[in-house]
Amino acid sequence: MRQLGAWGRRALLAGPLVVAGFLCGHLSAAGQGVRAVKPEPLVVSAARTLGVKRCLPMISGIAQRATSGATMQDIIVDWDRGAPDAAPFFSLTGLGNGSQRAALTIAAIPTPAGCAVLVERASFAQQACTAVATNDLSGFPSARLIDGIMVYQNPAQPGETYTLINNPGGCLILRRQASLKWQGK
């Protein structure tokens, strides 16, 4: 039988200590509630890369909420290449999670007061629009736009509407927010 030298004995002793330290570190981190860092939405990365600064916090706040839960996304953007921070920024983000799909548009326009914004999110529910309204928009004032299209106003959020459009097999839902002076809500 071969005898271990000094380094071999140290390796035999160090191996279990390294494994124990590794496990303790992971168990300690788990106990502290360490979470994976969530990547920022593509539209935020694009706006930043293109030079949008003044409206970037607004775009980021909107996109963080509107893309939450999406496992897939891709974007199309339009902007003034000569003055990206002084001109409108328009985006269309395609969102997906499993078999569900949605589209998000953001129009951010720098103004003397900050930023004006129009945000629209389109999605589809495989249920009647009356069921969507009953489940999600109870207590919201509503009005018929035309036959088959109802618009609901969010009483807690001025400038936010939900438009429910009857279609065969379900309901097209358009959530729209517009503000000439975005307050970040």
Which is it for the CA torsion 149, 157, 121, 52, positive or negative? positive
Place of tokens 């200590």: 17
- Residues of the chain predicted below pLDDT 70: 1-38, 183-185
Exposure pattern of 26-50 as b/e (b: 16+ CB <10 Å)? eeeeeeeeeeeeeeebbbbebbeee
What does the chain come to in residues?
185
CA angle 112, 115, 119 (to 5 degrees): 155
| Per-residue pLDDT, 24 | 37
Which helix (H) or strand (E) is 119 found in, with range? Answer: strand 114-125
Over the stretch 120-168, which tens digit does the pLDDT of each residue have? 999 999 999 999 999 999 999 999 999 999 999 999 988 899 999 999 9
Structure tokens of 108?
């951010």
pTM for this model (two decimals): 0.74
Residue spans of the domains in the chain: they are 42-179
The set of residues, in sequence order, having a beta carbon less than 8 Å from that of 158 and lying 6+ positions away, is none
